[in-house]
Structure 1
Amino acid sequence: MKKRVQHLLSAFVLTSFLFMAFGSDDDKKETEKTSNLSESGTSSENTPDIEILKHDATFEESMDSYTIHCRVKNNTDKLINYVDIKATFYDKDGNIVGTGLGNAANFAGGAEKTIDVIGLDIQNCEKYEVQVNNSF
């Protein structure tokens, strides 16, 4: 259990470092999905460069953490060096109860991959929203 916590914290620290190093550019937000925890999202809007195809969340009760598995697609024919996905968690009244971040590197043109977004210490969550945050 202790190693699992260490791995989660290491992933969180690395993700936080990458986010701080590359900053948040709101102009690059391309896709946004909202889901109740019992639903999985799908896309039917205009096709962005990076598209969230579907997502689902799992909850780890012992750590009050969520992992959202986001299936994404690079709709371009070019390599995307880095992409991160941000999750926002809400309670039943729509108040934010936490956030999470997941990322991937070297995302080939036309490829699909799963990016895990981790939110730690999330309590009283009723729904969440995921969005492509940064890519280059």
Structure 2
Amino acid sequence: MEEPKSKTRKPLWKRWWFWVLAVFILIGIAANSSETNITNTTNTSNQTTQKIAQKETKPDLEVLNHTFKQDGFNGYITGQIKNNTDKTFSYVQVEINLYDKNGQQVGSTIDNINNLEPGKTWNFKAIILEDNVHSYKIVNVSGF
């Protein structure tokens, strides 16, 4: 008796449809990879530009407003300072020079606070002990 002839099959990698499928898969992977890189680069670039713009327009410690107030005994310079960073300042100080009506410096005053948190606003109140103060100037706001 004769043995039936077995049909020899070509290996998978020698078939035409295998190579067509492989080419489509490679094109899909390449296209997906390049789109992701461009998107990530663009997003990073936009975020960097936004951070630079924020830092250029707003100082870390920003004086929002200030004014002179008088109670029955003393004068005060009051105002608000905002922490525009994402860190807590363990100490913040506002320094103010005081002037008489001739523009001569007659004194100075300060106020300070501990632990000014990110994005928070501090309502400062610096006492004036001098009698002949006509004007003032905030000369420094510092923190660490």
Identify whether the pair has TM-score above 0.5, normalized to the shorter chain: yes
Structure ranking higher in helix proportion: 2
- Given candidates 52, 56, 65, the residue that maps to 2:67 is 56
CA deviation vs aligned residue, 1:44-94 (integer Å, no higher than 9, x gap): x942110110011112454xx321112010010110110011111111211
- The Cα RMSD (Å) is 1.8
1:126 aligns with 2:123: no
- Identity score, percent: 33
8 Å Cα contact 1:101/1:119 also seen in 2: no
Relative distance call for 1:100 and 1:115 in structure 2 (3 A) is same
Residues of 2 paired with 1:76 and 1:111: CA distance? Answer: 9
Match for 1:54: what amino acid? N
Greater relative contact order: 1 or 2 (C-alpha under 8 angstroms, separation 6 or more)? 1
Equivalent residue pairs, number: 89
TM-score scaled by length of structure 2: 0.56
Give unpaired runs (5+ residues) of structure 1.
1-44
Distance 2:83 2:139 in 1: 14
Name the amino acid aligned to 1:89. Answer: L
- State the match for 1:31 in structure 2: none
More strand by share: 1
1:132 & 1:88 partners in 2: Cα distance?
9
The answer to whether the 8 A contact 2:61-2:141 is kept is: no
Question: Structure 2 CA distance, aligned partners of 1:72 and 1:131?
Answer: 14
The superposition leaves residues 11-31 of structure 1 with CA deviations (integer Å, 9 ceiling, x where unpaired) of xxxxxxxxxxxxxxxxxxxxx
C-alpha distance in 2, partners of 1:69/1:116?
4
Question: Which runs of 5 or more structure 2 residues have no equivalent in the other structure?
Answer: 1-55
Question: In the alignment, does 2:82 pair up with 1:73?
Answer: yes
**Which structure's CA Rg is the greater one?**
2
Give the structure 1 partner of residue 120 of structure 2.
Answer: 111
Contact 1:89 / 1:129 at 8 angstroms: preserved in 2? yes
User: What amino acid is aligned across from residue 127 of structure 1 in structure 2?
Assistant: S
CA distance in 1, matches of 2:72, 2:119: 36
